[in-house]
């Protein structure tokens, strides 16, 4: 058996509080990094040693520890923050190894480096985690129509809502229109009591949750009352023209071709549209083609329209979510290659 690769280094300046922040309770953060990167980390004070079978992973772990230590003076880490940074680090390394082939927007220039976009909302400053989120935010800032396509948990809707809230706060738009197709996710909800708002609320709850986090419940309720924020099912967009508005279509994989065309042609002057969806979670009848898939084919080369494609490595939820996404992707690829039983 070959001896593992090792790197020894010192984190400067020596600071017990920063080291405790980096390590976490009972070195939980270091164990988290070990499991994620497949390395072993040992330290005595601010002197660290990283070892592992893969030299690239050892180097990556050293870079990550140095970066985290640099941030430790101004930020308190928890398990979620460590997970985000591990994902971001792995995404950067994967892009470098692959020649940065993952594109955001037309053309897919592998050498394209997006300008960092910082979004300021009530909860603080939000920045993209990893290259694809950064490209997504840059595309939204520079295009009138944007598509964010990828698995659950990659921040597609959250970042779109954050960009919309910032545009509203800075008076770049006069209102937010958040739209979802009212399609049941693989189960029949049956009759829903109440008025129109109460009937469609279950379908639109993720958008409410993102708004509450950005603006606070009280402000959201006031803006909803004044119709500055409108949350509506897709069917109610027909016949409208939306000027000076920020329009987000969520769960777009569940639109039909006709609905997608109808939505995209609602855009008026001074407006921005963001369309998000996951092509692996289509709840339409088997015989109906997804409007999102069709738009991807039809609009891919239209100037002024951006496409950002997320992958499991961009997931910013629990680390197991990325593994679950990968497991289903492998099964789907196997089914596709073998054909129906």
**72, 123: one domain:** no
Mean pLDDT, the chain, as a whole number? 82
* Residue 94 pLDDT greater than 80, yes or no: no
**196, 289: one domain:** yes
**35, 126: one domain:** no
Predicted pLDDT at 207 = 80
**28, 145: one domain:** no
Question: Is 86 within the bounds of a domain?
Answer: no
**124, 49: one domain:** no
H or E element: which one contains 61?
helix 55-71
The stretch 75-101 carries a mean pLDDT of 69
**228, 136: one domain:** yes
Predicted pLDDT at 318 = 66
**268, 150: one domain:** yes
**151, 299: one domain:** yes
Euclidean distance between CA atoms 197 and 191, whole angstroms: 14
Predicted pLDDT at 183 = 57
Predicted pLDDT at 332 = 78
- Find the helix packing angle between 217-225 and 196-215, rounded to 10°: 130
Question: Is 32 within the bounds of a domain?
Answer: yes
Question: Is 89 within the bounds of a domain?
Answer: no
Question: Is 301 within the bounds of a domain?
Answer: yes
At 305, the pLDDT band (50, 70, 90 cuts) reads very high
Question: Is 87 within the bounds of a domain?
Answer: no
Euclidean distance between CA atoms 45 and 322, whole angstroms: 33
In this structure, of 46-50, 61-65, 82-86, 192-196, the range with the lowest mean pLDDT score is 192-196
**176, 313: one domain:** yes
Predicted pLDDT at 340 = 57
**282, 202: one domain:** yes
Q: Which of 44, 77, 110 is the last residue of a domain?
A: 77
Give the CATH number, domain containing residue 308.
Answer: 3.40.50.300
* Residue 123 pLDDT greater than 80, yes or no: no
Q: How many domains does the chain have?
A: 2
In this structure, of 10-14, 21-25, 219-223, 330-334, the range with the lowest mean pLDDT score is 330-334
At 240, the pLDDT band (50, 70, 90 cuts) reads confident
Q: What is the DSSP letter of 75?
A: -
For 202-235, write each residue's pLDDT tens digit: 667 778 888 888 888 899 999 999 999 998 888 8
**330, 233: one domain:** yes
* Residue 1 pLDDT greater than 60, yes or no: no
Euclidean distance between CA atoms 191 and 313, whole angstroms: 39
Nearest Cα residue to 311 out of 284, 279, 335: 279
Q: Which of 60, 77, 94 is the last residue of a domain?
A: 77
Question: Is 330 within the bounds of a domain?
Answer: yes
The stretch 27-47 carries a mean pLDDT of 91
The stretch 191-208 carries a mean pLDDT of 61
Predicted pLDDT at 22 = 95
The stretch 49-53 carries a mean pLDDT of 92
Long-range pairs of 121-125 with CB within 8 A, sequence gap ≥ 24: 121/162, 121/165, 121/166, 121/169, 121/214, 121/215, 122/214, 122/215, 122/216, 122/219, 123/213, 123/214
Question: Is 106 within the bounds of a domain?
Answer: no
* Residue 188 pLDDT greater than 70, yes or no: no
Predicted pLDDT at 317 = 66
Predicted pLDDT at 339 = 63
At 108, the pLDDT band (50, 70, 90 cuts) reads very low
Predicted pLDDT at 189 = 43
User: Residue 334 belongs to what domain range?
Assistant: 118-338
Question: Does the CA dihedral 102-106-111-112 come out positive or negative?
Answer: negative
Predicted pLDDT at 132 = 87
Q: Which of 56, 77, 98 is the last residue of a domain?
A: 77
Give the CATH number, domain containing residue 22.
Answer: 3.30.1370.10
**31, 159: one domain:** no
């Amino acid at each position: 058996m070959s001896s593992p690769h090792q790197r020894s280094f010192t984190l400067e300046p020596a600071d017990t509080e920063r080291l405790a922040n980096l390590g976490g309770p009972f070195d939980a953060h270091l164990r988290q990094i070990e499991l994620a990167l497949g390395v072993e980390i040992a330290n005595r004070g601010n002197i660290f040693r990283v070892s592992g079978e893969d030299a690239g992973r050892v180097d990556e772990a050293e870079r990550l520890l140095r970066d985290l230590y640099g941030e430790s003076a101004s930020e308190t880490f928890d398990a979620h923050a460590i997970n985000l940074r591990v994902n971001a680090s792995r995404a950067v390394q994967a892009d470098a190894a692959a020649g940065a082939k993952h594109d955001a927007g037309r053309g897919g220039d592998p050498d394209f480096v997006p300008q960092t976009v910082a979004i300021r909302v009530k909860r603080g400053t939000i920045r993209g985690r990893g290259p694809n989120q950064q490209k997504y935010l840059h595309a939204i800032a520079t295009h009138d129509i944007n598509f964010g396509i990828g698995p659950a948990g990659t921040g597609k809707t959250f970042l779109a809502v954050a960009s919309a809230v910032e545009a509203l706060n800075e008076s770049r738009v006069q209102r937010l229109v958040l739209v979802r197709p009212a399609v049941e996710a693989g189960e029949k909800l049956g009759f829903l009591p109440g008025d129109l708002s109460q009937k469609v609320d279950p379908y639109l709850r993720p958008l409410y949750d993102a708004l509450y986090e950005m603006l606070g419940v009280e402000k959201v309720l006031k803006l909803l009352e004044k119709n500055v924020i409108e949350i509506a099912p897709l069917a109610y967009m027909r016949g409208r023209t939306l000027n000076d508005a920020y329009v987000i279509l969520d769960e777009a994989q569940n639109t039909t071709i006709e609905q997608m065309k109808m939505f995209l042609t609602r855009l008026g002057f001074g407006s921005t549209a963001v369309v998000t969806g996951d092509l692996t979670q289509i709840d339409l009848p088997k015989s109906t083609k997804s409007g999102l898939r069709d738009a991807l084919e039809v609009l891919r080369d239209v100037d002024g329209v951006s496409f950002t494609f997320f992958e499991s490595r961009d997931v910013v939820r629990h680390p197991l979510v990325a593994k679950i996404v990968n497991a289903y992707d492998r099964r789907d690829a196997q089914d596709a290659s073998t054909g129906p039983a």
